[in-house]
């Protein structure tokens, strides 16, 4: 049987153990030799948003932004090294915006066959109030979505 043509796979990576689990699960269970993997990171500026000093001083905001940029750059480098370690073709991509919307947009742009994402395992009330990125992707995606739930994340519910 002839090898199938290349397929693009978008894996959403946010730096959590849940996205790392999804990355590993994909490679252990679904990956095909001709897959082109796009590791997508949608940065969230955590320290800037969570800092009580945001309203106080422009220099504090500037410093926090520089720290976040360094954290993001380091994480993207780590993702690139993860792809190299697996020996697969692909790329690391970082785009700003609403994570669910960005993931779907990039999947369309990359002509992806499917999307892989982890889930943080939020409880029903929190998910209802805050929404869930994985729920958003499932309900708005034009292609199949593989949501990887870590076997231990269900114990807290």
Mean pLDDT per segment of 10 residues, for the chain of length 157 residues? 77 92 95 96 68 63 86 95 93 93 97 92 52 87 92 55
CA distance 19 to 100: 14
Distance CA 28, CA 24 (A): 6
Distance CA 134, CA 132 (A): 5
pLDDT of residue 4: 60
- pLDDT in the model for residue 1: 45
Q: Going along 2-155, which residue ranges are E strands?
A: 7-12, 35-41, 89-94, 112-118, 145-148
Cα separation of 81 and 155, whole Å?
Answer: 32
How many C-alpha atoms does 13 have within 13 Å on its Cβ side?
27
Q: Provide the pLDDT for residue 65.
A: 83
d(CA 64, CA 53): 10
What pLDDT is attached to residue 52? Answer: 56
Name the strands in the sheet holding 89-94, side by side, starting at the edge strand that comes first in the sequence.
Answer: 89-94, 35-41, 7-12, 112-118, 145-148
pLDDT at 83: 94
For residues 154 and 147, is the Cβ–Cβ distance under 8 A?
no
Which domains are delineated in the chain?
A: 7-156 (3.40.50.620)
pLDDT at 157: 44
Amino acid 59: pLDDT? 81
Nearest CA-CA partner of 142 in 118, 112, 98, 116: 112
Spell out a b/e string for 70-82, using b for 16 or more CB atoms within 10 Å of the CB, else e.
Answer: eebeebbeebeeb
Residue 149 has a pLDDT of 83
| pLDDT score for 137 | 94
The answer to whether 49 and 66 have CB atoms below 8 angstroms apart is no
């Amino acid at each position: 049987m002839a090898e199938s043509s290349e397929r693009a796979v978008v894996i959403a990576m946010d730096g959590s153990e849940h996205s790392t689990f999804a990355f590993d699960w994909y490679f252990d269970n679904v990956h095909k030799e001709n897959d082109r993997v796009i590791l997508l990171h949608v940065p969230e500026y955590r320290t800037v948003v969570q800092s009580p000093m945001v309203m106080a001083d422009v220099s504090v905001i500037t410093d926090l932004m520089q720290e976040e940029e360094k954290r993001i750059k380091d994480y993207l480098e780590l993702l690139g090294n993860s792809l190299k370690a697996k020996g697969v073709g692909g790329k690391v991509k970082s785009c700003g915006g609403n994570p669910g919307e960005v993931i779907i947009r990039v999947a369309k742009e990359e002509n992806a066959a499917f999307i892989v994402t982890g889930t943080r395992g939020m409880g029903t009330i929190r998910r209802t109030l805050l929404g869930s990125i994985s729920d958003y992707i499932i309900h708005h995606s034009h292609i199949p979505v593989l949501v990887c739930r870590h076997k231990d994340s269900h114990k807290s519910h």
